[in-house]
């Protein structure tokens, strides 16, 4: 059914927001995260949530796209895509092709998927906990982890489809804006690598096998489980998965360099005949372990993260009617992910919208929020804390985030206190340190000149 | 909900999220205190409450049984424009104040407009439900704003149309297809409205629509989460129940006349990949035991057998190329079916032809898959597989109280009962392979077919229209 909404919900993964997900109001009982290290070296995080007979398991490894070689941009994602495309015969069990696997998972009423983000290589299993079904789902997932088939023919086909989709995307101004922005903000850093026909062409199934074996290693595995299961059950599941990948060993991974700061202002205008100009403004932000994480998180809510009530929405959309969607976010990862401001507007008003957006950022960086704005942000974040953890899915995201970023196990329990402690001065200081409005990149695709 | 690249065919996916509380393999029904309850307030407003006490949060939705299908030519998009203006104030509340107050409660909020309905929704801590109700009741009963607010907001709405529709060749093609498939049915108009109607819309158009349709007996409040149904009933009576009752105006039927033969359009756009969409007019599910509803259930299974899981029939034959001597026909292929709605429903088959394959070849391959089922039927394993997935989905959906509220509201819009979800699941479980074969035979002739082809035309890149001129707007 076609639906139109008052405010566009961005589906893009926003690590800063995710990182903020979770925690309870101070008075509430702590969220019981059980944590232990499995004999294989895997670190396990369990939240028992017994009321629905289902289980979510997420496995995370240091094998995201930051591990891609420049000439093979797209390798991590391709590896994730092909990992589950077939399983070899092993231990008396027959080989299964992609369709047999699709049928097997559907027959179990379960889901198993793999994906690569900038930092993480992730595998996700969702199953009912009816004992026979769960046992079969875990066993099938373990078979796929132990003996992926890496079928050459399937890769040839999927590469063809990917390249066709990339080519189609060239017709969209947003594609060009995103690429130009990435290149300008990240330079040579792998966060900025974008796959194209050439880099996908340089990837073979042997590269995927090697990438998989190198990065999916028990010594760096993090396993998060949320659902109707106890510790003994979780331990058994982790054991099956880790046995499957144990033969990969544990090769040390080289450090990845840091994102370099920008040295000058840069405005890129790409001509494009389009119904809307695409505008992106930004620079490298901070890594997740930045000590000012909370001032930046709360500050960005006020600047451009807070739905209808942010400064950017108020100035660009509500007061001037220039855009349907205008936002800002930080994307902190293991490295300094971007600070990004985005908007789309009719081509002839792009310059006006850019002017307004830049003024909002400059003023916020210079002066910070008002006391009233900060109080409103705290009301929203603290009063609404329970909404960040009110489903198994949200708990899974939160606990995985705690594990990945090495946050304390009581992170969710202290979250509202951390928000409460942020002051106007903290936000002003943090933004002034992190953002340099006179050295940002501005990309305009399809603006009228 | 997963957003597919076109809105007309997201519906099959939604099916997993539809339906009530049928447990896995006949597990016990939920205890009485967690069953959904329905009340009618003294002014005729409906209240639906679904207690779910897992977390101290609550989803609060206000549904109005009015959508784009209730508009008339010349003011298309007014239901959606009103949805935007509902955030612009009441006699006591300045523009933007509603959102600020919801945020102060810790709430998340949004609203949406579809062809069938308009809904306003928030998720708040359970302890803030009463304050939330007061805010929503106030704006439902007393929406008020200055013309100047509308003048700015309609520009925002045009940007929304540019962003979602003008900027996407596929969205524009589906908009054109929709306008061809339906002639008398108001479903032919886009929800967001035609651009020239947005240009010409006046503040009074929006106020008139509000006055006409936003009456208590045309609305339902749906609440799911950590609440007690009786307490919520008392609260809602006190807060929503005192809004003065008004009659809902009569609705004209505007039935779609029978189609008599195939229709086709070519839509040329700056694109590399073609796309072909085949749309068949089919019956919808009314919730009853009539023959059309029986067929609707079987069409739901047909859609799932074609495209309901990884490696299902369409993907296998068209995308993997196991169909025609190993030749790949398409880069993607999908099936979807609307199942229910206030207006007529469609069964759609869509493919993106692979490079070097014509749209006609892809269209023929899509139809071949349906013909194959009409000829050979489906296997018991396939039938069981899609049923198993639905039953598992019934459990997974319990993880989100918001989705539960959304589902209950959707059924109310269709005039269906609270147990619709359970009945739908139980009926779907009874569908036989023979019924699926029968509907594959019955509904996929040329007679009811409308075809749209997105024709790549790179020369249109240069020819893309410049920004449309518009009336001057005061600038700061």
- Helix, strand, or coil here: B104? helix
Chain A residue with the nearest C-alpha to that of B112:
A5
Q: Which residues of B touch A348 (CB under 8 A)?
A: 467
Give the whole-number percent of chain A exceeding pLDDT 90: 92
The shortest CB-CB distance from A5 to any of B112, B386, B476 is to: B112
Mean pLDDT estimate for chain A: 93
pLDDT tens-place string over residues B260-313: 999 999 999 999 999 999 999 999 999 999 999 999 999 999 999 999 999 999
Q: Are strands B263-269 and B330-337 parallel, antiparallel or unpaired?
A: unpaired
Distance CA A359, CA B394 (A): 49
| pLDDT at site B15 | 29
Residues 341-380 of B with CB under 8 A from A: 341, 354-355
Report how far residue B16's alpha carbon sits from residue B392's, in angstroms, rounded to the nearest whole number.
9
Question: With bands split at pLDDT 50, 70 and 90, how would you rate the model's confidence at B33?
Answer: low
Contacts of B180 (CB under 8 A, 6+ apart): B263, B265, B450, B452
Chain A contact set for B157 (CB, 8 A): 324
Burial (CB count <10 Å: 0-12, 13-18, 19+), residue A11: exposed
Best mutation site among A4, A84, A353 for testing chain B: the one with the most B CBs within 10 Å?
A: A4
Q: Which of B103, B156, B475 sits opposite A324 (nearest CB)?
A: B156
Q: Which of A2, A8, A106 sits opposite B309 (nearest CB)?
A: A106
Contact A410, A30 (CB under 8 A): yes
| Contacts (Cβ under 8 Å, ≥6 apart) of A99 | B310, B311, B316, B320
Backbone phi, psi, residue A332, to 5°: -75, 130
Q: Which two tokens stand for residue B220?
A: 């339902």
Q: What DSSP line would sit under B58-72, residue for residue? A: EEEEEEES--GGG--
What's the pLDDT at B277? 98
Q: Are A290 and A9 in contact (CB under 8 A)?
A: no
Q: What is the pLDDT of residues B337-377, one digit of tens each?
A: 999 999 999 999 999 999 999 999 999 999 999 999 999 99
| The pLDDT of residue A306 is above 90 | no
Supply B98's token pair.
């509603």
Half-sphere exposure of A100 (CA within 13 A, CB side): 11
Subunit contact B112:A4, Cβ cutoff 8 A: yes
Segment A270-302, tens digit of pLDDT:
999 999 999 999 999 999 999 999 999 999 999
pLDDT in tens, A57-108: 999 999 999 999 999 999 999 999 999 999 999 999 999 999 999 999 999 9
Nearest chain B residue (CA) to A374: B104
Helix or strand run (H / E) with residue A112 = strand A111-116
- What pLDDT was estimated at residue B458? 80
CA torsion B458-B459-B463-B464 (nearest 10°) is 0
Would you say residue B223 has pLDDT above 90?
yes
Integer Cα distance of A103 and B382 in angstroms:
9
Average per-residue pLDDT for chain B? 90
Residues of A in contact with B88 (CB under 8 A): none
| Token pair belonging to B344 | 């007529």
The reported pLDDT for the residue numbered B470 is: 37
Q: Work out the pLDDT band at B465, boundaries 50, 70, 90.
A: very low
**Mean pLDDT in residue range A19-37:** 58
Q: Is the confidence metric ipTM above 0.90 for this complex?
A: yes
Give the separation between CA B195 and CA B175, rounded to whole angstroms: 12
Q: Cα Rg for chain A, rounded, in angstroms?
A: 23
B-chain residues near A4 (CB < 8 A)? 80, 83, 112-113, 160, 164, 191-192
What distance in Å separates residue B457's CA from the closest CA in chain A?
Answer: 11
Q: Is the pLDDT of residue B230 over 70?
A: yes
Distance CA B153, CA B151 (A): 6
Nearest by CB: A98 against B83, B159, B311: B311
Give the Cα-Cα-Cα angle B46, B47, B52 (nearest 5 degrees). Answer: 155
The count of other CB atoms within 10 Å of the CB of residue B165 is: 21
Match 């099956």 to its residue by tokens. Answer: A240
Q: Which helix (H) or strand (E) holds B263?
A: strand B263-269
Does residue A165 surpass a pLDDT of 70? yes
3-state secondary structure of A329: strand
CB contact under 8 A, A386 and B57: yes
Compute CA distances B448 → A182, B14, B19, B184, B299, whole Å.
48, 24, 29, 15, 15
Q: Looking up tokens 């009463």, which residue turns up?
A: B130
Residue A30 is given by DSSP the state P
Q: Please name the residues in contact with B52: beta carbons below 8 A apart, sequence gap of 6 or more.
A: B34, B224, B225, B226, B398, B401, B404
Count of residues in chain A: 449
Residues of chain A contacting B392 with CB distance shorter than 8 Å: 108-110, 128
Residues of A in contact with B116 (CB under 8 A): 1
C-alpha distances in Å from residue A263, one per residue of A163, A192, A260, A442, B188: 34, 17, 9, 14, 53
Lookup result for tokens 């996929």: B444
Q: Rounded to whole angstroms, how far apart are CA atoms A235 and A38?
A: 7
The pTM for the full model equals 0.92
The DSSP-derived string for A47-99 is: EE-TTSSEEEEEEEEE-SGGGS-GGGTTHHHHHHHHHTSEE--BTTBPPEEHH
B380, exposed or middle or buried, with CB in 10 Å at 0-12, 13-18, 19+? exposed
Do the Cβ atoms of B25 and A130 come within 8 Å? yes
**pLDDT per residue over A308-354, tens digit each?**
899 999 999 999 999 999 999 999 999 999 999 999 999 999 999 99
CB contact under 8 A, B99 and A308: yes
B405 phi/psi in degrees, rounded to 5: -65, -40
Q: Which residues contact B216 (CB under 8 A, 6 or more apart)?
A: B41, B43, B44, B45, B240, B243, B244, B245, B246
B320 contact residues in A (CB cutoff 8 A)? 98-99, 157
Q: Does B471 touch chain A (CB under 8 A)?
A: no
CA A37 to CA A220: how far, in whole Å? 11
Question: What is the interface size between A and B, counted as CB pairs within 8 Å?
Answer: 260
Give the rounded percent of residues in chain A with a pLDDT score beyond 70: 93
- Interface contact A384-B312, CB threshold 8 A: no
């Amino acid at each position: 059914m076609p639906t139109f909404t008052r405010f566009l919900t961005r589906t893009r993964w926003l690590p800063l927001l995710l990182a903020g997900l979770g925690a309870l109001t101070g008075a509430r009982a702590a969220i019981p995260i059980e944590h232990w290290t499995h004999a294989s070296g895997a670190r396990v995080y369990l939240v028992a949530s017994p009321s629905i007979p289902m289980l979510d398991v997420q496995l995370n490894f240091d094998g995201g796209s930051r591990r891609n070689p420049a000439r093979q941009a797209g390798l991590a994602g391709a590896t994730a895509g092909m990992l589950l495309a077939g399983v070899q015969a092993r231990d008396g069990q027959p080989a299964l092709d992609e369709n047999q696997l699709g049928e097997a998972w559907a027959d179990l009423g379960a889901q198993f998927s793999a994906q690569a983000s900038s930092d993480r290589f992730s595998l996700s299993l969702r199953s009912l906990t009816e004992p026979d079904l769960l046992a079969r789902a875990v066993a099938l997932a373990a078979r796929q982890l132990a003996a992926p088939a890496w079928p050459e023919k399937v890769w040839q086909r999927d590469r063809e489809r990917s390249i066709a989709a990339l080519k189609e995307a060239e017709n969209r101004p947003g594609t060009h804006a995103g690429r130009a922005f990435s290149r300008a903000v990240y330079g040579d850093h792998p966060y900025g690598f974008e796959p194209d026909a050439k880099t996908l062409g340089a990837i073979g199934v042997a590269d995927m096998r090697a990438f998989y074996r190198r990065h999916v290693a028990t010594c760096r595995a993090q396993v998060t489980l949320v659902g109707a299961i106890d510790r003994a059950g979780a331990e058994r599941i982790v054991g099956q998965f880790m046995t499957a990948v144990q033969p990969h060993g544990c090769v040390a991974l080289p450090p990845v360099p840091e994102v370099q700061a920008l040295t000058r202002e840069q405005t890129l205008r790409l001509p494009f005949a389009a119904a809307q100009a695409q505008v992106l403004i930004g620079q490298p932000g901070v890594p997740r372990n930045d000590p000012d994480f909370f001032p930046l998180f709360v500050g960005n809510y006020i600047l451009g993260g807070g739905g209808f009530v942010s400064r950017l929405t108020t100035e660009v959309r509500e007061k001037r009617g220039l855009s349907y969607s205008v936002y800002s976010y930080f994307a902190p990862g293991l490295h300094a992910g971007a600070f990004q401001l985005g908007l789309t507007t009719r081509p002839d008003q792009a310059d006006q919208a850019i002017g307004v957006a830049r003024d909002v950022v400059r003023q916020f960086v210079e002066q910070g929020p008002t006391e009233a704005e900060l109080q409103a942000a705290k009301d929203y974040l603290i009063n609404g804390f329970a909404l960040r953890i009110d489903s198994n899915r949200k708990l899974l995201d939160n606990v995985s985030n705690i594990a990945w970023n090495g946050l304390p196990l009581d992170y969710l329990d202290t979250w509202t206190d951390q928000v409460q402690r942020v002051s106007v001065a903290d936000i002003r200081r943090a933004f002034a340190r992190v953002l340099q409005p006179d050295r940002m990149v501005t990309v305009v695709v399809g603006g009228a000149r | 909900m997963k957003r597919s690249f076109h809105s007309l065919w997201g519906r099959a996916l939604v099916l997993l999220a539809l339906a009530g509380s049928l447990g896995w393999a006949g597990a016990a029904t939920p205890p009485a205190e967690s069953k959904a309850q329905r009340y009618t307030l003294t002014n005729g407003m409906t209240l639906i409450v679904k207690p779910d006490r897992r977390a101290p949060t609550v989803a609060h939705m206000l549904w109005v049984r009015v959508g784009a299908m209730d508009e008339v030519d010349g003011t298309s998009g007014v239901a959606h424009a009103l949805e935007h203006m509902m955030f612009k104030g009441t006699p006591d509340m300045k523009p933007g104040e509603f959102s600020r107050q919801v945020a102060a409660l810790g709430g998340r909020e949004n609203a949406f407009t579809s062809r069938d309905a308009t809904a306003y929704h928030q998720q708040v801590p359970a302890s803030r439900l009463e304050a939330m109700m007061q805010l929503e009741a106030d704006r439902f009963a007393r929406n008020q704003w200055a013309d100047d607010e509308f003048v700015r907001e309609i520009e925002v709405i045009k940007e929304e149309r540019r962003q979602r529709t003008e900027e996407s060749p596929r969205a524009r093609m589906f908009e054109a297809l929709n306008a061809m498939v339906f002639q008398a049915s108001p479903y032919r108009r886009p929800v967001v409205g035609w651009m020239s109607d947005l240009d010409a819309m006046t503040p009074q158009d929006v106020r008139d629509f509000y006055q006409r349709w936003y009456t208590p007996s045309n609305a339902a409040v749906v609440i799911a989460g950590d609440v007690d149904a009786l307490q919520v009933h008392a609260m809602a009576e006190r807060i929503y129940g005192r809004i003065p009752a008004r009659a809902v105006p009569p609705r004209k039927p505007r039935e779609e006349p029978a189609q008599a033969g195939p229709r086709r359009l070519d839509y040329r756009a700056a694109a590399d990949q073609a796309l072909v969409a085949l749309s068949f007019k089919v019956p919808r599910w009314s919730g009853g035991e009539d023959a059309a509803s029986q067929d609707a259930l079987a069409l739901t299974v047909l859609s799932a057998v074609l495209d309901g899981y990884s490696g299902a029939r369409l993907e296998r034959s068209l995308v993997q190329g196991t169909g025609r001597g190993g030749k790949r026909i398409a880069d993607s292929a999908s099936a979807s079916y609307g199942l229910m709605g206030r207006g007529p429903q469609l069964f759609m088959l869509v493919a993106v032809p692979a490079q070097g394959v014509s749209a006609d070849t892809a269209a023929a391959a899509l139809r071949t898959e349906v013909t194959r089922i009409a000829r050979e039927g489906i296997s018991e394993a396939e039938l069981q597989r899609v049923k198993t997935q639905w039953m598992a989905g019934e459990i997974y959906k319990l993880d989100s109280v918001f989705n539960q509220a959304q589902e209950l509201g959707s059924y109310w819009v269709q005039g269906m009962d609270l147990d619709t979800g359970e009945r739908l699941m139980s009926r779907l479980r009874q569908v036989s392979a023979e019924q699926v074969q029968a509907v594959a035979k019955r509904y996929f002739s040329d007679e009811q077919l409308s075809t749209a082809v997105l024709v790549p035309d790179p020369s249109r890149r240069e020819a893309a229209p410049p920004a449309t001129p518009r009336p001057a707007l005061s600038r700061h």
